[in-house]
């Protein structure tokens, strides 16, 4: 991974890697450290949700079903936190790739302008271009790895959200007046949060 080693060739590459480590190192480490546990947690909770959704067709246990619903929100928050870390890391990787491409293009310009076909200066530029190429390959592979994991977690949380909505509706429909009041209050809180967030961004 990109924070484990810095290519020895090219001061420009070192600068890019240092910037990348500073900007995305912490978020990337958090994502990598938590990915497996978060993925297992979502998988396990989706199984629990599926089981309770089947039971909800017969159950009127308000406290049990609302407890499962609350747990779903907590799991979803954990996943979204990991996804935010991954997306920050991905954005920094893409920006670093752009910086490396720019450095490569500058090397090509210097190489084309060099008056001699051989010599130490030319070899130095060629060496720097090789280092840039290796760095770009490493970052590209890392970016694919992040995207694969983001896609996987996004799919899991989509299933979680769908089942959570179904459970919310089951509580409304199966748990009498308490279920309907709970459902209305939940929607009102969600709407209040949306308005506050919109006001904050305005």
Residue 29 lies in a domain: yes
- Is residue 48 domain-resident? yes
Do 147 and 90 touch, CB atoms closer than 8 A?
Answer: yes
Please state, rounded to an integer, the average pLDDT across all residues of the chain. 82
**What pLDDT score does 126 carry?**
85
Task: Give domain status of residue 108, yes or no.
Answer: yes
4-19 per-position pLDDT tens digit: 334 444 555 656 666 6
Residue at 115 is within a domain: yes
Taking the C-alpha atoms of residue 30 and residue 174, their distance in angstroms, rounded to an integer, is 40
- pTM confidence score: 0.72
Closest alpha carbon to 135 in 46, 6, 27, 21: 6
Mean pLDDT, rounded, for 159-175: 91
The answer to whether residue 58 sits within a structural domain is: yes
Whether the per-residue pLDDT at 187 is higher than 90: the answer is yes
Average pLDDT over residues 165-176: 90
pLDDT at 117: 58
| pLDDT, greater one: 48 or 183 | 183
Residue-wise pLDDT tens digits, 69-118: 999 999 999 999 889 888 888 888 888 888 888 888 888 888 887 666 56
Residue of 90, 77, 66, 86 lying closest to 160 (CA atoms): 77
Structural domain includes residue 202: no
Q: 143 lies in which domain range?
A: 11-197
Work out the pLDDT band at 198, boundaries 50, 70, 90: confident
- How many structural domains is the chain composed of? 1
Q: The domain spanning residue 21 has which CATH number?
A: 1.10.287
User: Does residue 4 fall inside a structural domain?
Assistant: no
The two structure tokens encoding residue 2: 């990109």
């Amino acid at each position: 991974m990109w924070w484990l080693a810095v290519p020895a060739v090219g001061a420009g590459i070192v600068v890019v890697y240092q910037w990348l480590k500073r900007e995305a190192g912490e978020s990337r480490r958090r994502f990598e450290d938590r990915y497996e546990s978060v993925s297992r947690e979502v998988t396990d909770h989706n199984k629990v949700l599926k089981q309770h959704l089947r039971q909800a067709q017969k159950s009127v246990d308000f406290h049990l079903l609302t407890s499962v619903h609350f747990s779903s929100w907590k799991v979803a928050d954990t996943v979204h936190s990991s996804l935010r870390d991954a997306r920050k890391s991905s954005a920094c990787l893409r920006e670093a790739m752009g910086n490396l491409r720019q450095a490569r293009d500058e090397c090509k310009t210097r190489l084309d302008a060099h008056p001699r076909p051989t010599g130490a200066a030319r070899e130095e530029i060629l060496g720097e271009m090789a280092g840039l190429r290796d760095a770009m390959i490493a970052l590209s592979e890392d970016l694919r790895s992040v995207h694969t994991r983001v896609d996987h977690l996004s799919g899991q949380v989509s299933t979680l959200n769908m089942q959570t909505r179904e459970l919310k509706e089951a509580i409304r429909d199966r748990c009498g007046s308490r279920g309907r009041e709970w459902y209305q209050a939940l929607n009102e809180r969600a709407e209040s949060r949306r308005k506050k967030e919109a006001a904050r961004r305005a």
